Amino acid sequence: MFDIFLGLTFDQSAALLLVKGLAILMLSYACFTAFLKEDAASRRMRQTSKVYVNKEARQALRKTPDQVPEGLLKALIPEDRSERTAIRFRLRQAGFDGVNAVRNFFILRLTLSMAAPFLAVVFFSIREFVGVSSWVDEWFNSITPLRIVQTIAVLVALGFYGPTYWLKSKIAARRREIEMSFPNALDLLQISVEAGLGIDAAMTRVGQKLAPVAPAISEEFLTCQIEVLAGRDRGQALIDMGERIGVEEVTSFVALLNQSMEYGTSVAVALNAYALEMRDAREMKAHEKANKLPVHMSAVLATLMLPALFLITLGPTIIRYSSMFGKN
């Protein structure tokens, strides 16, 4: 039998082709396993890392310490650290959590305040060289210097204080958004904890799932978990989240979690009880708003309907007496 194998002769070119075919087959299998057959655990880990890394609003861990302004920034940024901290906290409440958020805010306020006088000077400078309508030229010539100074002062004040009022409205809008989305987030958090997840994993999971529909509460949950992963105390991170949001329901939720973790009670039971309590509170608020509605409507009815009602009821009488006395 061995004589048969010894009698076989192999062509060198055929052997080379066989080796090349095996190499191509092994390379194709490696590419298939590397790109097509993806591990589910690695895919979830990569998606989680994308949520943490690719969001510019969650760069708090890479912030530089608070620094005293130097050079030209002294004319823009307050040197008092308490004032800078207050502005930074308000910017974080509005969702602006960048490294240079405070500096950009003061630069924006300075730019808007200087835009009005700059545009006025530019317009008056080029008005003689650029053709304008005759009525526009007459209108500008009729304006007194005092009125021009007053108008520029008002525009400067609007540009200087406008960003502050805009920041207040931004904070209020973000709080309303969180108030509307927090009950759904609490229900999802309760379901996740009851399913067996820890509070950290549950907050991360809920934050990832709510990112498309409720970005504000999702950002706060994930920012809190980033701080915990970085080594910060969980209780302090939760307290800071409640202070940033400034919503009563979230503050109570943070106190509940800290108390449950401190005394070792079941977080799932505590969340279930708080969810029921919050539903009752929201129902009472809805009833309160419904009961206030007639009071608010009475002012509108008195303003809009009473004049028409008086006109309908007293109009014929006034017309009759006026025609009667007019004839006499």
Q: Mind listing the pLDDT tens digit for each residue in 136-155?
A: 667 767 777 787 778 788 88
Rounded to two decimals, what is the model's pTM? 0.64
Could you count the other beta carbons within 10 Å of the beta carbon of residue 26?
10
Cα-based distances in Å from 139 to 32, 125, 126, 238: 76, 16, 16, 60
Which is more confident, 49 or 85? 85
**Of 123, 146, 176, at which residue does a domain stop?**
176
My answer on whether 119 and 9 are in the same domain is: no
Residue at 326 is within a domain: no
**Start-to-end CA span in the chain (Å):** 148
My answer on whether 144 and 250 are in the same domain is: no
Please give the share of the chain, as a percent, with pLDDT higher than 70.
Answer: 73
Please give the share of the chain, as a percent, with pLDDT higher than 90.
Answer: 0
As a whole number of angstroms, the distance between CA 105 and CA 92 comes to: 12
Cα-based distances in Å from 298 to 190, 231, 308: 42, 57, 15
Residue at 151 is within a domain: yes
My answer on whether 76 and 40 are in the same domain is: no
Residue at 312 is within a domain: no
Categorize the per-residue pLDDT at 229 as very low, low, confident or very high, splitting at 50, 70 and 90. Answer: confident
Residue at 315 is within a domain: no
pLDDT of residue 318: 81
My answer on whether 16 and 127 are in the same domain is: no
Task: Select the highest-mean-pLDDT range: 46-60, 120-134, 164-178.
Answer: 164-178
Range of the structural domain that residue 106 is part of: 57-176
DSSP SS3 for 10: coil
As a whole number of angstroms, the distance between CA 91 and CA 161 comes to: 15
DSSP state of 246: -
Residue at 168 is within a domain: yes
My answer on whether 166 and 67 are in the same domain is: yes
Categorize the per-residue pLDDT at 11 as very low, low, confident or very high, splitting at 50, 70 and 90. Answer: low
Total domains, the chain: 3
Select from 218, 220, 210 the least CA-distant residue to 97: 220
Residue at 228 is within a domain: yes
Cα-based distances in Å from 237 to 189, 244, 248: 17, 11, 17
pLDDT of residue 7: 47
My answer on whether 93 and 198 are in the same domain is: no
**Of 176, 208, 225, at which residue does a domain stop?**
176
pLDDT of residue 224: 87
CA atoms within 13 A on the CB side of 268: 9
Could you count the other beta carbons within 10 Å of the beta carbon of residue 51?
16
Residue at 136 is within a domain: yes
Categorize the per-residue pLDDT at 68 as very low, low, confident or very high, splitting at 50, 70 and 90. Answer: low
Task: Select the highest-mean-pLDDT range: 23-32, 34-43, 57-66, 100-109.
Answer: 100-109
- The chain-wide mean pLDDT, for the chain, equals 76
My answer on whether 118 and 189 are in the same domain is: no
Residue at 310 is within a domain: no
Q: Mean pLDDT, to the nearest integer, of 62-82? A: 64
**Of 121, 145, 176, at which residue does a domain stop?**
176
pLDDT tens for residues 242-287?
Answer: 888 888 888 888 888 888 888 888 888 888 888 888 888 888 888 8
H or E element: which one contains 162?
A: helix 145-194
